Every structure is written in structure tokens, then in C-alpha cells.
Structure 1
Amino acid sequence: MYDILLCLVSLIALPKLLYQMAFHKKYRNSLKQRLGIGFPEIEKGNKKLIWVHAVSMGEAKAVAALARELKKRSDNDAILLFSTVTETGLAEGEKELPEADYHVFLPLDFSWIIRPIIRRVRPDQVIVCETDYWYNFLSSSKNAGARLSVVNGKISERSMHRLLKFPKFTKRLFCLIDKFCVQSHHYRERFLKLGIPEEKIAITGNIKFDNSFPKLTEEELVEWKSKFGIRPEDHVLVAGSTHDPEERIILDACFEVWKDDPHLKILIVPRHPERFNEVAQLLKKRGVKFSRYSEGVSHEAPVILVDAMGVLLQCYQAATLAIVAGSFTPKVGGHNIVEPCWYGVPVLFGPYLYSQPELLELVQEYGAGVQVEPEHLSDEIKGLLSEPKRRKALGAAGIHLADSLQGATERTLVEIA
């Protein structure tokens, strides 16, 4: 039945897949491996095989340190296989986790594709980061004798209610997993409501905050500001991880701010690279003078479209203020609103943080950021730009918050090792 439903979902998704392949060149390089063709032949022998799975770039970056430590604690004798779903996730895994013996795309979860691969690979330990639960992958791994763990576990309220509608399937799925290492008490309560035994759940924190966030030297920061055409008199607003229609919302607010502060410079960093050209077209239609980072920037351009991956944290370090997007559209539900806090940058975010409830609670508890409705965004930006003491207080609170979040990786290792 599961395979039949997966076939139906795949047929529904096929037009979008073909469109992405044709016009955005996505999935072309990964399709064969997703179909199980060319999956690595792994000579396991008597070695332990650890399979770590992360759906995309953010999860890949988060779980890299934990995976590295697992291999290290095996005296580097274990075979480490790292899988992901997205192409950006694979690239991030190769960059952040060169210690892995294999980097692969997770094959499609049809039983006739994934089961033969699992029987051949015979993993001893399977670790899934956050939320990517594939039934055939997990059940085949369990049947092969693997211990299954979820790390950095989370589940949205919407997903919880969906799963509650299918109690038999949910029980079959989650009973496969031996340990749930979850980010916060919010997620613990939701997993308990799904019928997971209390002894299987441990609150270990968010491993993303154990990553060494890159800190630019003074010389490097000057160089980055030069790359963005930032002058000493400029106020810099970084809009990070934007989605449609958030660029419009942020531009509308900034048109109001520019009336009072002509030195405001905006760095727009779209979440997905396939939207770079779309955002450029929007800026042209709005009549905004802008530069693309990839083409070199102008000091005169008030807007910089950062059409590159992996530079968001450097952008935050050049910021006077940061907006963490994904929070002004109900389709997304927020991104990591703590990232700017590492650099003492005041953070603004919208009303939709349902996918990050624990981060919202922490930021509000420490007074490190401001939640704002779209219609009040311009007023909040104006207020913060005109109040340096308030900006400094928010930034100091953010650093205090960031320092309090260390240690999740070690707590997780204690539970799963």
C-alpha cells in the first residue's frame, strides 16, 4: 500500500520535476543514483557501517560535526556513508564532511529500489537528521539489524496533526526508531502525543548551534564590505533566506525607510539559487537600482542581490540589522533566527515561526530580536536605525543567547553512540 501511495504522489509531482529538470537543470546529475543506478559498491567486511542522512544543506551542515565525531570514536575504522536528498545538500556534505567514505543521494523510497541497496550495504547504525522519515529506508535498515536514531529531532504542529490522522502507519513508522534526540521540550511533547514511549525520547538541544560559526577578522570584514560596496556611512540591512513574496514585503518597507535614510543598503540573500534570476527580474520591475554579487557591485547601488550560496553568515557580519526571512510567509514557517545573534546583530523576523517555536521562545526570553508584522516592518527598521543604544542592547542579548546554546552534539553522542 505504501508503495502504491508513493507512486501516486510521484505521478502528481512529475510535472514539477520535469519543469525543474528542463528549466532549472535540477536533478539531472542525481537522477540515476536516485533510481538506485550506480550506487557505490561498498566492501564492508567486518567494519561497522554508519549511514547518516540529512535532507538538505542546512541539515547537512548541522550534522557534519556529529558524524565526524562518530567516525573518530571508532578510531576511524567505521565506514561512514552520508546521504542527502538535494543537490545543495550533497555539495554541503562534501564540503563539511570530507571524512565520509561515501557521499550519495538517497535513493527513491520504492521498495524495489531501496531494499536491495540496504541488503547489500548492511548498515549497523542509521542516523536521520531532523525530519526526513522514509518508511522503506528505515524498515529495510531495521531488518538488516541497524540501530536507528533521529538526531536534532523536530516536528511541526501541522505534521503532528497529519500523522495523528493515520495512527496505524505512524505507529509502524516510529516504532522502527530506537532513539529520538529532540531539540526542545516542544518537540518532545509532540512526539509523545504521537505515541512514542517516553524512554525513547531525549532532549539534547539543537546541534546546529555547536557548529563553529565563521568569524571574520577585521581585515576580512573590511574586504567583505568592499565586495558589497559598503561605505562607512552606510546602514546595512541583510535580508537572509528570502522566499517569494518576501522580497516584495521587504522592498515595500525599505522604500519608506529610504525617505528618511538614503544611506540604507540592502543585501538580499534568496534561500534557493533557482530564484536568483526571479528576484533580479522583480528588482528590475520595481525600478530599483541594484547590483548582483556575482557580477561585482557598485557603491551607488542601494540593493545587492547576493546570488551565491554559502555566504549568508559573512553577510550577517557586515550587517547593522538582519531580517531572517521565511517568517513573512505562512508557507515556510521561519528559518534560524539565532544565526545573526552569533555576531551581535539585532534580528527582525515575521509572524510565521511555527517551524521554529523553540528559537522564537529563546529569542524572546533573552530579548535578542523583534517579531514584527509586515505592515509595521518599515517603522521597526526606522526605529532601530535611529536608536544605536537599543541596537547595542539587542546585539549583546543575542551574543548571550548564542553562548547558552552550546553542547548539543556531545549530549546527542551520549544517547546514540
Structure 2
Amino acid sequence: MKFLYRLFFWGLPTILKGFGLIFPRVNRFLAARKNLFLRLKEFRSRYSGKLAWFHVASLGEYEQAKPVIEALKKQNSEIGILVSFFSPSGYEPALKKPHPLVDFVTYLPLDRRSWAQEFVRLVNPSSAFFVKYDLWYHHLEALRKFGVPHYLISASFRPNQPYFRWYGGFFKSMLESFNWIFTQNQPSLDLLNTIAVTNASRSGDTRFDRVWATAKHAKSFPEISHWINGRPTVVVGSAWQEDMDLILPLIEAHLDYVWIIAPHDLSPEPMDRWAKQLSVKSVTYSKWAPESQASILFIDNIGMLSSLYQFAKIAYVGGGFGKGLHNILEPLGFGIPVIFGKVKNVSKFPESIQSQHQGCGFEVNSPEDLLNVFDRLEQAEIYQKATFAAQEWVSANVGAADRVMQKVQELTPLS
């Protein structure tokens, strides 16, 4: 298996160049990695101090990394932070909106052995943190070679992953290389036990820390508050067409509400199409004025959504019908019930099941389902139970980042 893995990554750049002739996004993926090592050298010439390396796949995992970055900096304010991304969809927004505690953002090179060793040599981290998944054999091998302690945080495992299959020895070796694995939940820890990986403990999902902090320090939007003017509000996050097929009839049935809708696709076309299907006035945020008489506000930018849930009586989070459910913990952090479409792969989104067990999450599969759930949540007693459940569940899970750093300090003190 190791030979096949190395052979694959030896030939992958050539394969990707071929695909780049057909798919522009592949060219973008390759072009972004040009001069990667040169940029690292330049950064390390400017910053020669101790550095912690965090690797994330994309934006969702970056959000999980941030509470641990903050907890680490509390323990050792002098340590620098480097974050690597695999996906442009994470890297590009992180560059546009820098985190004050992050010193450098980079792509991860493809997992060729020589490239991985050069990357780790140049970064020269004193510790490394991988978030949730996106594990690369040669990068982990390089960390072992250079004696760098490394950890997997907010890990979430499923029985159908290669680690737990009969052929999984090669993949299991990646898990065994970590100094410690911190799982989101008990089922993930139980799965590790089935393959005798014991360098692990349950710390919880660091996203709870993140959404708790966001809710406590939400951005202020006084003009939106003035526009709402006390009216009941629904905030829809990361809406796909499949979600809007359910939401549009709901809007027409509840014209007494105002609606803030953040589409997954920020291009004008879907928003224009949805606006034409509605009997009430709508406007995009980029063209909106506070005195607008519209009752529907489309958010056509990135960065506002997580704080907009402060205005919601009820939230709907999209993606369940599509490639993946967006972050339902964000609205729950504000103590409001959340509705979402039927999740195709619940093992990838265990919070969808858990939120329903807790009584603050509601899954729907049709316009009729959504209308029924919405009408139930308009009943004061049911609504109060759902909001209490959201508050209890989030507050009970806050502290995952502190638990991670406490264990890291026990194993390899960072100060």
C-alpha cells in the first residue's frame, strides 16, 4: 500500500496538469502552489522564533482550529502560528480576512516524500496540529523524522473509513504516529479502540468553543436591527436550491416574518431567480438601504453570517440535501432552534443527529415537513424547550480547546 501511495503522488502533478486543460479550477490549485517553498523561506527569514503549525483542509476545519490557536497563545504568547490549507476555498478567505493570532498562511504541498520533508524542514515547527482529518502520510513521516510532536484535534471517525477496514494497516500507521488524538465524541474513541489505537481521549468538538465565543462577541449591525424593528426573523444560512425549494413556500405562508438569507452561491443569478418567485419585496445587502421596505434581505458577501444569527427567532441551515450540512452549531450558540434538510451522510455530521436528540435541531425532507416544524416552533412551550435545549447543549460542551491544551502541556510542555 505504501508503494502504491508513493507512486500515486509521484504521478499526480502530471495527471493534474492534464485535467487542468479541461478544468480551470485544477490549474488554480496547481498555480497556487508555485513558489510555495520560496515564500516559506522568506517568512522564516523574517520570523525565526518558535512556531506551531496547524493544518486544516478548508474553512470549516479552520474554525475548529481557532479556539486551540487562542488557547495555545494564552499558554505561550511568544509562539508563532502558521496555518496550512489544502483547499483554495479555505486559503483564499483566510488571506482576505487575516486572524490576528496567525502569522503566516500557506498551502500544503502535495504529499510527495521530498516535498513533505522540505516543507517540514523549512517550517521547522516546535509542534504540529492536524484538524479533524486530511492526514498525509509523508508529512506525518517528516514530523516523526524531525522529532516534532504532533496531534490530531477534533477528530471524528466513521466505521467505513480506511483505518477500520481489513486493508487499513497503512492508514492506521498514520493514526499511530500522533503523540495524541483528541476526538469529538465517544463513538470515535470507541472506533479507535477497535484497532488498538490507544493514544487518544475524548475532548469534544472545538466548534462549541468557537460558536460560544461568536455569540458572546457578535458583530454589531445596528442598521439591520433598526430594519427588523422587533419583527420575528428567520435567518437562513448557506442556502442551496434544494433548501430554497422548501423555504420559498414557507416565506409565502409566513409573511409576518422578515427573512435574512445567506446563499451558498453568492453569484447574482440564484438570488434574482428566487426574488422573482416571491410575492414580497427582496433586496441584496450590497444594494440595501436601512429604510428599505423589503422583508427579505439576501446576504451577498462572506463574513457576516455567523453574527447574523443574533437576530433570529428560528434558523434554517442549508446543505443537508447537497454535499454537506453547513455549521448548525453557529445558530445554536445563540440559543435558537435550528432546522435543516435531511442529511444524506449522517456519520459525517453527527451533530445533526445529536441536536435532534437534544431537542434543538429539526430535520425536514419536504415543504410540508418544514411548515409543520415551523408551526410547532411557533407554539410558546415547544419553542422555549428548544431554546433551553440549545443553550444547555452548547454550554455543556464548551471547553474542548482547554482540554486539548491541558493534555498537550502534560505530554510536551510548550512554554
1:10-409 to 2 correspondence within 5 Å?
11=15, 14-15=19-20, 18-20=23-25, 30-33=32-35, 36-41=37-42, 42-43=44-45, 48-74=50-76, 76=78, 78-87=79-88, 89-90=90-91, 91-92=93-94, 95=97, 97-158=99-160, 160=161, 164=165, 166-193=167-194, 195-198=195-198, 200-211=199-210, 212-215=213-216, 220=220, 222-226=222-226, 229-233=227-231, 235-251=232-248, 253-254=249-250, 257-258=251-252, 260-271=253-264, 275-283=266-274, 286=277, 289-296=281-288, 299-329=292-322, 331-332=323-324, 334-352=325-343, 354-355=346-347, 358-384=350-376, 386-409=378-401
Structure 1 runs not aligned, ≥5 long: none
Shift of 1:115: 2.2
1:411 matched to 2:398? The reply is no
Task: State the identity as a percent.
Answer: 21
Separation in 2, partners of 1:214, 1:111: 43
Distance in structure 1 (CA, Å) of the matches to 2:96 and 2:196: 34
Distance 1:126 1:379 in 2: 47
Alpha-carbon separation, structure 2, partners of 1:33 and 1:414 = 37
Secondary structure of the residue aligned to 1:89 is helix
Residue identity opposite 2:340 in structure 1: F
- The structural deviation recorded for 1:383 is 0.7
Consecutive aligned runs of 4 or more in structure 1 exceeding 6 Å deviation: none
5+ residue gaps, structure 2: 410-415
How far is 1:43 from its partner?
5.0
Distance in 1 between residues matched to 2:314 and 2:401, nearest whole Å: 29
- Relative to the length of structure 2, the TM-score reads 0.82
Structure 2 vs 1, CA of residues 394 and 401 (structure 1 numbering), >3 Å: closer, same or farther? same
Q: For residues 200 and 22 of structure 2, what CA distance do their matches in structure 1 show?
A: 36
Sort the Cα spacing of 1:249 and 1:386 in 2 relative to 1 into closer, same or farther, 3 A. closer
CA deviations on 1:50-78 (whole Å, 9 max, x unpaired) are: 211122222223222322332443351x3
Deviations 1:82-136 (A, max 9, x none): 2223455344478564233322222222334332222233323111011121122
Verify the 8 A CA contact 1:68 1:97 in the aligned structure 2: no
Question: In angstroms, what is the RMSD of aligned CA positions?
Answer: 3.4
Cα distance per residue 1:350-385 (max 9 Å; x no partner): 321615554235423432232222243332354146
1:318 is displaced (CA, Å) by 1.1
SS at 2:320's partner residue? Answer: coil
Shift, 1:238, TM fit: 1.6
The separation in 2 between residues aligned to 1:15 and 1:319, in whole angstroms, is 43
C-alpha contact 1:321 1:345 (8 A) present in aligned 2: yes
Residues 325 and 350 of structure 1 are in contact (CA less than 8 Å); yes or no, is this contact kept in structure 2? yes
Superimposed CA distance per residue, residues 158-196 of structure 1 (whole angstroms, 9 cap, x where no aligned partner): 4x1586264232133223222110110121123334x25
CA distance in 2, matches of 1:116, 1:94: 27
Q: Deviations over 1:24-65 (max 9, x none)?
A: xx659834255x443234259995432111222222232223
Give the letter for the 1:279 counterpart.
P
Task: Give the TM-score taking structure 1 as reference length.
Answer: 0.82
**Contact 1:336 1:359 (C-alpha < 8 Å) held by counterparts:** no
Structure 1 188/44 Cα, relative in aligned 2: closer, same or farther at 3 Å? farther
Q: Distance in 1 between matches of 2:21 and 2:193?
A: 35
- Amino acid in structure 2 at the alignment position of 1:186: P
Give the direction of change, closer, same or farther, for the CA distance of 1:216–1:102 in structure 2 (3 Å limit): closer
Q: Does the 8 Å CA contact 1:174/1:196 hold for their aligned counterparts?
A: no
Matching residue's letter, 1:394: A
Q: Deviations over 1:220-242 (max 9, x none)?
A: 4653234xx43544x32222123
Decide which moves more: 288-297 or 10-19: 10-19
Secondary structure of the residue that 2:301 maps to in structure 1? coil
SS at match of 1:131: coil
